[in-house]
Amino acid sequence: MAILLASGAACAGLGRGVPSVALSALALGIANTVVQRAGRVSIAATYMTGTLVRMGQGLAEALRGGDRLGWLPYALLWGALLSGAVIGAALFQHFGLRGLWLPAATCAVLTLIPLSPER
């Protein structure tokens, strides 16, 4: 993902908007494949409405006496998606497609952080 986003940012810097957008779309498609299943429900990393639906289902479950906090992970995910959209819009407004350097760098740094501690 980091390589695709960086390639998209480089294309934008060269004035090649169409390849930049295509590479970015491919990177976001890959994001869906890296999210693992959490219990019995698959978390949709890129679909805001699906996340809202799952949050609503979790709230309904809580109101019926089920898991009282089952909706919380979906609310946090939705908030993260919303924050990403706002930050992305601000980056685009100020830097155009060259703003892809920030998510490319963020993605590259995140690849260096181990997901689980080694023992």
| pLDDT more than 70, % of the chain | 82
Give the pLDDT score at 40: 46
The secondary structure of residue 113, as a DSSP letter, is S
- Quick one: which of 24, 58, 14 has its CA closest to 39? 58
Q: Which residues contact 24 (CB under 8 A, 6 or more apart)?
A: 4, 5, 8, 97, 100
pTM of structure: 0.64
Give the pLDDT score at 28: 80
Give the pLDDT score at 39: 47
Q: Which SS3 state, helix, strand or coil, does residue 84 take? A: helix
> Do 21 and 51 touch, CB atoms closer than 8 A?
no
The secondary structure of residue 112, as a DSSP letter, is T
- Quick one: which of 70, 75, 80 has its CA closest to 41? 70
Of the listed ranges 38-47, 51-60, 68-77, the one predicted with least confidence: 38-47
Q: Which is more confident, 114 or 40?
A: 114
Give the pLDDT score at 30: 80
Provide the residue ranges of all domains of the chain, joining segments of one domain with +. Answer: 2-111
- Concatenated DSSP letters for 24-64? HHHHHHHHHHHPPEETTEE--SS-HHHHHHHHHHHHHHHHT
CA pair distance 53, 77, nearest whole angstrom = 12
